[in-house]
Amino acid sequence: MGSMFYGSDGSRHSRRLQFKALGAASLALVNAACGGDQATPAPAASGPGTSPVRLAMFNQGGDQQSVTDWNKMLEPFTKKYPNVTFDVTGPDATIGPLAFVEKATALAAGGTPPDLTYSVTRNGPTIFARGFTSDMNTLVKTEKIDLRDVSKPVLDNFDWRGSLLALPYDIGYAYVQYNRSLFAKAGVGDPGKLWESGKWNWDAFLEISTAMARSATADEARVPYLVKTWEGDYLTIMRTHGGEMLNPDRTKLLIDQGASVTALQLWADLAAKHKVSTSPTKPPQGGFNGGRLGMEPSHPGNIRAVQKFVKDNNSPYDWDIVPFPAPAGKKPVPVLFTNGLYAWKASKNQAQVSSVLKFLMEDEQMLRYGALTGRDPARRSLQEQHLKNLGIPETAPKSWPKVYTEMAPLARGVPWTVDYIEWHTMVQKEILEPIADGKKTVQAAIAEVMPKVQAVLSRNAPK
């Protein structure tokens, strides 16, 4: 059986670790075949033409829902240009977090690269540094794609040493979703009311969590909070308490520093000491939708799924969201996540790819994707209409407009690197899981893993 893995989008997968690093000779051949590290620009669009073309869109996820969503997204383009059709695929996520990178690399090395991709930004540095994908700054200039309404933190999260890894498509902020009905039944306080009254801080969070844990009975077990080895959880808590993951040039892990160690201890104590959470490897049966989980770290990409579950199952519970709790007098620093559209250099259909990407970046199309998935459009001016499309604030999560207003200026992206998935999985498996299970101290776990992580980070350090 595979162990549990929380992806950068907060999704939970069963996985087998498959770190099959390319050897130096193989990697050199792949880079040579795909243009190496040279900044080959994407050509300007000349229109989709009239000859039949089938474009391969290889995305970060190959699950049925993701494929269905993107087929829906591309239908209007094919309707307008019947000569252009699409083959939307992606890797099987159950084989591990490196699935996309490994499969995409194999396709490119085998001479059958995708034409375009939708992916979380954590994959961007890896495929760009190997020479597979284009600097999208060129397409932005030639096709006059408007990015002025995309915030600086979002653009910064797509920046790789001066290059634009992808066209910013959707974003998400880490927050806490909670079951209001469960808190009312337990009579221990309401996170939303505490937040609205300015009393939502770390002490209040811990107080109502421990009170809910004590109020549980054998017949009605409750889990007040669910810790996750997802960056949206532990990294938000770390930054909120003054810590950080990497140094500014992304060459050194900083979780051994004082504030980071303190924050990781607070995070681990939720499960190991206070018992207000299960282990991150053993989440409660049924999860949030099961109705017995009080709070969990989440993001906008989960809104549609919870809304659909509540509607389809006529669920009796009410739910909402709040920012992460912070120390008294402080503000939370939510992790910002980004997803974007990539163009592959070796595609033989550059003009058609450029046309599709320009089409997808239209306001109407970005709003359509938001309505399908719940994910916030990267353009800030679309947020109001996006929330209306989700039925918010008339329906849960009713507090999202206010939470968004508070969090957007405070959010910071994840410091992606070329080998991010490899070393971050070490952090998840060899630091976070053992300290949450109480099997290792924070200091001991960090000391054991730091040399291995540092070795990975050193591979692609700026020369």
Number of domains the chain is built from: 2
Domain that holds residue 190: 175-335+416-459
The type of residue at 425 is: T
Q: The CATH number of the domain where 299 resides is what?
A: 3.40.190.10
Supply 463's token pair: 């020369």
**Nearest 5°: phi and psi at 10?**
90, -5
Q: Are residues 239 and 189 in the same domain?
A: yes
398 lies in some domain:
no
Q: Are residues 112 and 159 in the same domain?
A: yes
Is there a contact between 87 and 57 (Cβ–Cβ < 8 Å)? yes
pLDDT score for 437 = 96
Q: Are residues 278 and 209 in the same domain?
A: yes
200 lies in some domain:
yes
pLDDT score for 218 = 64
Q: Identify which of 297, 432, 427, 357 has the alpha carbon closest to the alpha carbon of residue 57.
A: 357
202 lies in some domain:
yes
Give Cα 305 to chain centroid, integer Å: 16
User: Burial level of 309, CB count in 10 A (0-12/13-18/19+)?
Assistant: middle
Integer Cα distance of 157 and 53 in angstroms: 33
- Give 201's DSSP letter: B
- Partnered with residue 196 across adjacent β-strands are none
Domain boundary among 349, 374, 391: 391
Residues 6+ apart with CB under 8 A from 266: 202, 237, 241
15 SS3 class = strand
203 lies in some domain:
yes
Q: Are residues 197 and 264 in the same domain?
A: yes
Q: Identify which of 455, 420, 451, 422 has the alpha carbon closest to the alpha carbon of residue 18.
A: 422
270 lies in some domain:
yes
Ranges of residues in the chain with a pLDDT under 50 are 1-45
pLDDT score for 33 = 39
Instruction: Please write the tens of the pLDDT for every residue from 340-396.
Output: 999 999 999 999 999 999 999 999 999 999 999 999 999 999 999 999 999 999 999
404 lies in some domain:
no
Q: Are residues 326 and 430 in the same domain?
A: yes
Q: Are residues 294 and 382 in the same domain?
A: no
- Give 171's DSSP letter: E
pLDDT score for 41 = 45
441 lies in some domain:
yes
pLDDT score for 310 = 93
410 lies in some domain:
no
Question: Which residue's entry shows tokens 């992460």?
Answer: 324
Beta strand residue intervals within 189-291, DSSP E: 223-225
Domain boundary among 357, 376, 391: 391
Q: Are residues 186 and 317 in the same domain?
A: yes
pLDDT score for 3 = 36
The type of residue at 302 is: N
Q: Are residues 331 and 341 in the same domain?
A: no
Q: Are residues 41 and 129 in the same domain?
A: yes
Q: Are residues 193 and 257 in the same domain?
A: yes
Q: Are residues 232 and 308 in the same domain?
A: yes
Q: Are residues 132 and 233 in the same domain?
A: no
